[in-house]
Amino acid sequence: MKVFKGILSWIIPIVVGLLIAELLRMFVLTVAKVDGPSMEPNLINNERLLVFRHSKVKHLSVIVFDAHGVDPSATQPNTDYVKRVIGLPGDTVSSNDGNIYVNGKAINQKFISQKERTTGTGNWDLKSLSKSWSKNTGAVKVPKGEYFVLGDHRSVSNDGRYWGFVPKKKVVGVAKTLFFWQTDKTKRNNVNNLGY
């Protein structure tokens, strides 16, 4: 009996710890991994992120979302994408010579270089983009309960320009880079502190 109590004395804390960790992962935060170059220079391939499930999504927040059912090429459930929120519900979004306009005002894009802004971004508005989307054809504003997202490395990013909006229900959470050994202060700021 003494041996059994001894075994339980270390098994119970482990089980409780695992249960708490799983509840935190399901309801508070989780870890995600960047896959590919679409968020360079701020996030690099295989970089790990903490994803806060209940953080408020703002303009320029970096989010993680399940792209299955959003991007037609994401054929498997739980295919997570990491992108930057440009348009919130009700916003108009357009691009001209590398400048992104939200509701007619140019946004500050100091988180990427001038070359990254102009190479691959293109000239467009939501209405012109939406002509090739399978959903929301003819959209001029971001619909209620959805977001418009872009990758920071515009010339290689598969993002909202090609498939449309991200429904709020698909968002896993707001990403933060807290692993200081993977990045530098400027890049952390460009991911963690730009939301407005």
pLDDT digits (tens, 9 = 90+) for 13-58: 665 555 555 655 665 578 889 999 999 999 999 999 989 998 899 9
- Distance spanning both ends of the chain, measured CA to CA: 60
Distance, in Å, from the CA atom of 125 to the CA atom of 101, rounded to the nearest integer, reads 9
Q: Which of 5, 9, 38, 56 is catalytic?
A: 38
Total of domains in the chain = 1
In degrees, rounded to 5, the angle at the alpha carbon of residue 91 between the alpha carbons of residues 123 and 159 is 50
DSSP string, 63-90: EEEE-TTTSTT--STT-EEEEEEEE-TT
| 73 among known catalytic residues | no
Is residue 24 in some structural domain?
no
Pick 117 or 125 by higher pLDDT: 125
Q: Which of 9, 58, 61, 83 is catalytic?
A: 83
Q: List the CATH number of the domain containing 166.
A: 2.10.109.10
Is residue 92 in some structural domain?
yes
| 95 among known catalytic residues | no
Is residue 79 in some structural domain?
yes
Average of per-residue pLDDT values in the chain:
87
Distance, in Å, from the CA atom of 61 to the CA atom of 174, rounded to the nearest integer, reads 7
Is residue 131 in some structural domain?
yes
Is residue 12 in some structural domain?
no
Is residue 124 in some structural domain?
yes
Dihedral, 79, 61, 45, 109 alpha carbons, nearest 10: 130
Is residue 110 in some structural domain?
yes
Question: Which residues constitute the domain of residue 179?
Answer: 31-192
Is residue 186 in some structural domain?
yes
Taking the complete model, does pTM exceed 0.75, yes or no?
Answer: yes
